[in-house]
Amino acid sequence: MSRLPLHRLLQIWLLFQCCASCNCGLDPKKRDMLMKLEELRRTGGAVELDEREKLLDAKLRKLQEHEMKAGPFPPSMHFFKAKPLIEQSPIFSLLQKMPKGGALHVHDFGIVGVEWLVKNVTYRENCYVCFTNEVFVQFIFSSGQPAPRPLCSRWTLLRSLREKTKNITDLDNSFIRNLTLFTEDPDRAYPSQDVVWKRFEKAFLGAYGLVTYAPVFKDYLYEGLRQFYVDNIMYVEIRALLPATYELDGRLNDKQWSMQACQEVVRRFTAHYPDFVGARVIFTVHRGVNATVAIKAVEEAMTLQRNFPDTMAGFDFVGQEDLGRPLWYFKDALSLPEQRGVDLPYFFHAGETDSQGTEVDQNLMDAILFNTTRIGHGFALARHPVVKDMSRKMDVPVEVCPISNQVLKLVSDLRNHPAAMLMAEGHPLVISSDDPALFGSSGLSHDFYEAFMGFGGMSFNLGTLKELVLNSLRYSSLPSQTKEKAIAALLVKWDKFVLESLL
Ligand SMILES: *[C@@H]1O[C@H](CO)[C@@H](O)[C@H](O)[C@H]1NC(C)=O
Ligand SMILES: *[C@@H]1O[C@H](CO)[C@@H](O)[C@H](O)[C@H]1NC(C)=O
Ligand SMILES: *[C@@H]1O[C@H](CO)[C@@H](O)[C@H](O)[C@H]1NC(C)=O
Ligand SMILES: *[C@@H]1O[C@H](CO)[C@@H](O)[C@H](O)[C@H]1NC(C)=O
Ligand SMILES: *[C@@H]1O[C@H](CO)[C@@H](O)[C@H](O)[C@H]1NC(C)=O
Ligand SMILES: [Zn+2]
């Protein structure tokens, strides 16, 4: 990628110093220089655009200007309200067409739009449903009447329920609502982080019985890759719990089976879509587990790493950070690989909190101490200047997921998201979507829109987008040769995108 050469930077800086020292009052050149220096610091600010890119940038700028002025500004609103506005935006449709490289922070059961789960999966044979006291749905596939589940009604075969239901569309829509967080009035429905996280875990549990059915597990992953591919993404890193999957007769498959399934699905997918680079798995465990379970999990991760070196990328903890255990609690487990001379890369969620100064808030420090490869969210990073410097110097990027942070109530107006500051100073980062299916977004385009317009307003340009897109492969866990090839392929896609967007 062409960046502004260092000597040019130095020249500009020297000019500025020079100008600053003379007593030349309000010299417009000095002003321009100051602007230029700010611009150079930004994410993508030093990317030099070629002639065609400059034309597209000019077009983009007009669209930005229009969008800043026209009506309510989507990033300032809750995503559930902003979504229809975003989807009408010409910037959004440009971002959809833009090749976005890799999605580096997404979770196993949050990648497929839930319409597919309801319209496709729940229509398969042998699907049973039960309702909890709070009228939440749970599903299971079974060859016979499944064993009753505590706190859930008797299992009903969905096919017979549908036969008895007057309005099936209404029923399906109610399932869809169970499986996402969408609601017309999010501020009322979710007054606090704990409430929204509880609802999040319920939605997740609802989907659980569907996606852990072995045949669905594979189809789900395939469909997830397809939905990302359609959004012009060529590579995905999936944080995966790799839960036991089950067969129709109740038999359970282990993690090895799940990894094998992932490998097989990714191979099948890339054979079908040769310009898709692939997908890798970051094995995750819930951060509510105790030290003993964590040790077992890390040991399992090392085994998976040995058995599936191409598919397995590393290890992480998931779940609400504020209620889970801090990384330091898991120090014995996390020290195991090093003690045994095994390379198990970490990709920790850290700083997905606004509880400053608590044990949880220290996760950012510990993530760096445990040599994390990337930082998931890092929402609190701006409040930790030393860690921030280290993350920059060690080139440990932050995975920023704007919509997730907003829906899970860390920030309401995305113009105030801390990543706006990180991007203003060119901190290494990538944009991702966490659990798009639960938020009602898809792929990465909605999050790119929020980041581009919300964090940047008029200050970001096509160079910002190019840098973000390149970052997504640069900071991926792909082995270096594959990475270089993927970046080259991305740049070819990029040029085609620029050309086609000018027509
Ligand atoms: C459901 O998905 C499977 C695999 O993804 C596909 O083969 C099948 O045609 C779909 N069925 C329906 C009814 O959409
Ligand atoms: C089902 O209900 C929806 C409104 O919720 C309505 O639009 C639709 O026409 C109804 N379908 C049938 C078959 O009654
Ligand atoms: C979940 O589905 C049930 C059953 O259809 C329905 O009664 C309930 O209202 C749904 N919950 C939500 C939050 O939509
Ligand atoms: C850790 O958690 C597991 C699973 O929940 C439990 O079986 C075990 O007794 C716990 N160990 C300790 C030491 O608390
Ligand atoms: C992290 O990396 C440093 C430098 O390579 C090494 O000294 C240290 O032991 C590593 N820590 C862990 C927990 O792997
Ligand atoms: Zn996450």
| 360 has a pLDDT exceeding 90 | no
Report the phi/psi class of residue 457: left, alpha or beta, with left for phi > 0 and alpha for psi in -120 to 50: left
Q: Which of 78, 105, 107, 377 is catalytic?
A: 377
Distance of alpha carbon 181 from alpha carbon 80, whole angstroms: 9
Q: Is 174 a pocket residue for ligand 3 (Cβ < 6 Å)?
A: yes
| 485 has a pLDDT exceeding 70 | yes
pLDDT tens-digit series, residues 226-256: 999 999 999 999 999 999 999 999 999 999 9
Q: Any idea what DSSP says for residue 452? A: I
Q: Any idea what DSSP says for residue 378? A: -
| 6 has a pLDDT exceeding 70 | no
Please provide the size of the chain in residues: 503
Residue 306 binned pLDDT confidence (cut-offs 50, 70, 90): very high
Residue from 289, 292, 329 to probe ligand 4 pocket by mutation (most atoms less than 8 Å from CB): 292
Distance of alpha carbon 391 from alpha carbon 362, whole angstroms: 14
Ligand nearest to the CA of residue 111, numbered in listed order = 6
Helix axes of 79-88 and 90-97: crossing angle, nearest 10 degrees: 80
Rounded to the nearest integer, the mean pLDDT of the chain is 94
Half-sphere exposure of 148 (CA within 13 A, CB side): 6
Residue from 117, 120, 162, 226 to probe ligand 1 pocket by mutation (most atoms less than 8 Å from CB): 120
Q: Is 122 a pocket residue for ligand 1 (Cβ < 6 Å)?
A: no
| 21 has a pLDDT exceeding 70 | no
Distance of alpha carbon 30 from alpha carbon 13, whole angstroms: 11
Ligand 4: centre distance to CA 13 (Å): 59
Residue identifier of the C-alpha nearest atom 14 of ligand 2 = 167
pLDDT tens-digit series, residues 426-443: 999 999 999 999 999 999
> How much is the average pLDDT of 38-42?
96
> How much is the average pLDDT of 262-272?
98
Q: Is 178 a pocket residue for ligand 3 (Cβ < 6 Å)?
A: yes
pLDDT tens-digit series, residues 56-82: 999 999 999 999 998 899 999 999 999
| 1 has a pLDDT exceeding 90 | no
Q: Any idea what DSSP says for residue 455? A: I
Ligand 3: centre distance to CA 205 (Å): 14
pLDDT tens-digit series, residues 148-207: 999 999 999 999 999 999 999 999 999 999 999 999 999 999 999 999 999 999 999 999
Q: Is 293 a pocket residue for ligand 4 (Cβ < 6 Å)?
A: yes
Confidence (pTM): 0.94
Residue 65 a catalytic site member? no
Ligand 3: centre distance to CA 242 (Å): 28
Q: Is 135 a pocket residue for ligand 3 (Cβ < 6 Å)?
A: yes
3-state secondary structure of 339: helix
Residue identifier of the C-alpha nearest atom 7 of ligand 4 = 293
Distance of alpha carbon 1 from alpha carbon 150, whole angstroms: 58
DSSP code per residue over 101-112 = -EEEEEEGGGSS
Instruction: List CB contacts of 408: < 8 A, sequence separation 6 or more.
Output: 193, 196, 197, 200, 352
Higher-confidence residue: 7 or 452? Answer: 452
Q: Is the dihedral of CA 383, 387, 389, 394 positive or negative?
A: negative
Quick one: what percent of the chain has pLDDT higher than 90? 88
The reported pLDDT for the residue numbered 38 is 95
Instruction: List CB contacts of 433: < 8 A, sequence separation 6 or more.
Output: 103, 105, 106, 401, 403, 404, 439, 441, 443, 444, 446, 447
With contact defined as beta carbons under 8 Å apart, do 373 and 337 qualify?
no
Residue 2 binned pLDDT confidence (cut-offs 50, 70, 90): very low
Residue identifier of the C-alpha nearest atom 5 of ligand 4 = 289
Q: For 173-182, b where at least 16 C-beta lie within 10 A, e where not — what string?
A: eebbebbbbb
Tell me the two tokens of residue 374: 């990337």
Q: Is 371 a pocket residue for ligand 5 (Cβ < 6 Å)?
A: yes
Q: For 445-482, b where at least 16 C-beta lie within 10 A, e where not — what string?
A: bbbbbbbbbbbbeeebbbbbbbbbbbbbbbbbbbeeee
In angstroms, how far is CA 334 from the centroid of its own chain?
24
Residue 352 a catalytic site member? yes
Range with lowest mean pLDDT among 13-22, 102-111, 233-242, 293-302:
13-22
Residue identifier of the C-alpha nearest atom 12 of ligand 1 = 120
